[in-house]
Structure 1
Amino acid sequence: MTTTTTYRTLFQDYLCAGLQLVLAQVQAAEPLVPDELRRQAWHLLSYAFESAAAWPLARDLLLALAPKMEQAGFRDEWIAYLEQAVQSALLRGDERVAAECQLEIGYLYRLATNFASAREWLRASLENFERQEHRQGMARALNHLAYVAWREHHYDEAEDFADRALQLLDLDDVERAMSLSAKGLIAIDRREWRLAEENHRAALQIRQEYGDKRKAAWSLQNLGYAMRGQGKHAAAIACFVEALKSLERVGDPINQAIIELNLGISYYLNKEYGHALDCYARAEAHYGKSQDQLNIAKLHVNRGLCHLALNELEKAEIAFNNSITLFQQLGDLGERLNAMDGLGLTYLAMELRKQAAAVFESALKELPLIQGTPIHDTLLEELSLHLNQAQPVREDLTLAVQNLGT
């Protein structure tokens, strides 16, 4: 009995010493945690979750690791550790850490485009923060819920979440930038470009004042969206290029990929198709690790547009079919119909009129299901025009390709 007790005490001592050492190294690691250190941290946590004595150090290590694991692109593996942490925190009555971990899990599921799971965890976090009357935590959960609702095209709900977050936050709280960013992205989807620009400039200013270079780069990217929507392609490209340089310096490969995608779209709109394809190739190299199926799908549809503009029709067909499959899996009907429009135009360019007409007709039949969304009227006009072009008389495709939404 004495030997067993001594062994357990010794093990706990070694475990706590290891946690303390690794915690200091993780806190000092910039911008990302080296892979060997990350493996050591995960190994120690797998034991520490079962130890009451080690919990305070395990908790601190977990919270130090969380933003760096997200930045490095870890999703499913890291979520498994966070789920264990939630159980350990609840078991020990550590409601604050449980809420933080629930929030982080919801955030990671959002980034991985698993929106149902994201909502579940974010609502659990919100309820936990509400029980603690932790206003800033409640606001953060609401902001992430706003982003989920925006991604699912539930714009009124998204705006309500963001407004509720703003009401909870002090005027000097940097989290207000997240609320303003959500409202700016909603405005972009509604084609309210000036309002979007106003919100994203305000978010950018807050993040620059706080010295948050990573999130300031995100705001620059969002500002680029707003500039592009106003037809200011040179200004949009400048925003994306500056944001890309910032993220390269802070080490944010996943968001670099998103900016590369959007920089490519701006190059496409500026008829610089080679530059656009180069951007898409660089973006694609990052996306596999992030599991961001939504942006992978968007990449394929925009790559298809470039190949179509370059008359590389077989490549365009493959790209549009890939995007259609992914949007179908994601349940994003509006984006899938837009990709079908691109596929139909590709068949038109191949002079496969019957196949083109069948694609346009199929898309038009499903179009009423997204009535009331910002993309509906644009797709109705374009699909109707393109179906007419699929009739026996050959039409010039140049205008159709230019009008195709990205």
Structure 2
Amino acid sequence: MASEQFIQIVQENIICWQQRLTQEGVEGVIAEGDNLLQAAAMGLYVPQLWALTAVYILQAYPIAESLGTGEQWMPVLQTAVAAAPTTNDPLTIQLLNRLGRAYRLSQQPKKAVATHQQALRQTEPAAPAWVVAEVHLNLAEDYQAQYDIATAEHHAQQAHQLIANSPEQYTKIKAATQNILGILYLQKGQLALAESHLLAALHLWPDQNNPVALARLTKNLALSLSLQGKHETSLFYYHNALDKIRAIGNAVDQAEIENNLGVLYLQIGESNRAEAIFNQALHKTLPATCRAPIRASITHNLGEVYLAQNRLFEAGLYIQQAILDWQQLGDQLEMGNSIGVYGIILHRQGHYKEAIPKLETALSSLSQLPNRGRVAELTQEFSQELAQCRLAT
């Protein structure tokens, strides 16, 4: 049994960190990740401090997530859920939400869905609307990451309906719901609707001291604008997002914004600028140990740049690496895209017989996904390329 002195030390340490998180935000604790985690782990050693520790974890975990260290909190989250005195109180459900997010961000989609479905089952009829809305929001993000757009939209709309008339203190959930709806409409190709929701999310976001969240919202809005051909406005928002994220040195988020910016430069015909920013993201921004999906995406996009520049040998090298990366990550859509682009490269090199099976494989992979939005566009592109290859043989 812990001594009273030990309990007091642990309690005071947690309260101290809570005060710092409230007063200083992300930028104030950016170098304190290990200490934040240690405070949570120590709190869970003391059963009578479970509620205090749970509240602290809910406050600290989003900051760890925004700094790219959320996966390190998985054991603490698992312990906190297992030690919960009841299963259906809001604190336990919120911890399950965070645990599910940690699973999703560590590329464990099935565990993410199962954890969030467990959270939904544990919300009893008397649970506050915002608690249930947050569970639906997380399920929407889970299914969106798996390209199950219909199920994701169902959960996003459930969250929106539950939170629409909630008090002002739940504005952050409202903003997050608008954000996921915007992302879903992007994937469905409903670009004006996506822009509308993403603008609403940006205007609703209450925490101006969280540069990571603001940068992510801004990046999504910039993407919706670029896909509509609003290039100047999109460039403004991308650079705005980069300014926010560079201030705290979040490598993964910075690389994601640089990746999107490079795609925009490629779209408007500035392939040299696209090449420079992709190389910056891949070889300077991202740590060599980072195996997140963003590395595969940038690798693929560099291949696209070299294809646009007719540097076919280099294009093939990068696209083949991207295919291997997507296979390891289990991303069927992106793997199909990279295989299809490799087929296009082989076609340009005059290797028609080698190109045909690559394009057929890409189309087969895409055919297992809902044929709308980006999937439909890629299917049309690769089908046309395949027809041309067959004519040439």
When normalised by structure 1's length, the TM-score is: 0.84
Counterpart of 1:317 in structure 2 is: 316
Given that residues 146 and 159 in structure 1 are in contact (C-alpha distance below 8 angstroms), is that contact kept between their aligned partners in structure 2?
Answer: yes
1:47 paired with 2:50, answer: no
Deviation at 1:350, TM superposition (A): 3.1
| SS of residue in 2 equivalent to 1:76 | helix
Deviation at 1:255, TM superposition (A): 2.4
CA distance in 2, matches of 1:176, 1:59: 23
Which of 222, 232, 235 is the equivalent residue of 2:233? Answer: 235
Counterpart of 1:85 in structure 2 is: 80
Deviation at 1:250, TM superposition (A): 5.8
Give the count of matched residue pairs.
Answer: 387
Deviations 1:166-216 (Å, cap 9, x if unpaired)? 111144542222222222212111211111122212222222697765434
Q: Over aligned residue pairs, what C-alpha RMSD do you find?
A: 3.0
Q: Of the two, which has the highest radius of gyration?
A: 1
Counting only pairs closer than 5 Å after superposition, residues 250-261 of structure 1 correspond to structure 2 as 252-261=250-259
Given that residues 45 and 58 in structure 1 are in contact (C-alpha distance below 8 angstroms), is that contact kept between their aligned partners in structure 2?
Answer: yes
When normalised by structure 2's length, the TM-score is: 0.86
Counterpart of 2:148 in structure 1 is: 154
| Contiguous gaps of at least 5 residues in structure 2 | none
Specify whether residues 288 and 26 from structure 1 end up closer, same or farther in structure 2 by C-alpha distance, changes over 3 A only: farther
Counting only pairs closer than 5 Å after superposition, residues 288-367 of structure 1 correspond to structure 2 as 292-293=292-293, 295-367=294-366
Specify whether residues 84 and 384 from structure 1 end up closer, same or farther in structure 2 by C-alpha distance, changes over 3 A only: same
Specify whether residues 256 and 36 from structure 1 end up closer, same or farther in structure 2 by C-alpha distance, changes over 3 A only: closer
| SS of residue in 2 equivalent to 1:370 | coil
1:38 paired with 2:33, answer: yes
Counting only pairs closer than 5 Å after superposition, residues 351-390 of structure 1 correspond to structure 2 as 351-370=350-369, 372-390=371-389
| Contiguous gaps of at least 5 residues in structure 1 | 395-406
Which of 113, 131, 148 is the equivalent residue of 1:137? Answer: 131
CA distance in 1, matches of 2:346, 2:295: 23
Counterpart of 1:399 in structure 2 is: none
Given that residues 31 and 251 in structure 1 are in contact (C-alpha distance below 8 angstroms), is that contact kept between their aligned partners in structure 2?
Answer: no
CA distance in 2, matches of 1:287, 1:99: 34
CA distance in 2, matches of 1:386, 1:122: 41
Which of 60, 65, 83 is the equivalent residue of 2:60? Answer: 65
Counterpart of 2:278 in structure 1 is: 280
1:168 paired with 2:172, answer: no
Percent same amino acid at aligned positions?
A: 22
Given that residues 187 and 196 in structure 1 are in contact (C-alpha distance below 8 angstroms), is that contact kept between their aligned partners in structure 2?
Answer: yes
Specify whether residues 274 and 80 from structure 1 end up closer, same or farther in structure 2 by C-alpha distance, changes over 3 A only: farther
1:103 paired with 2:101, answer: no
CA distance in 1, matches of 2:206, 2:28: 24
Deviations 1:343-377 (Å, cap 9, x if unpaired)? 11222333333222231233344453336333444
Given that residues 126 and 138 in structure 1 are in contact (C-alpha distance below 8 angstroms), is that contact kept between their aligned partners in structure 2?
Answer: yes
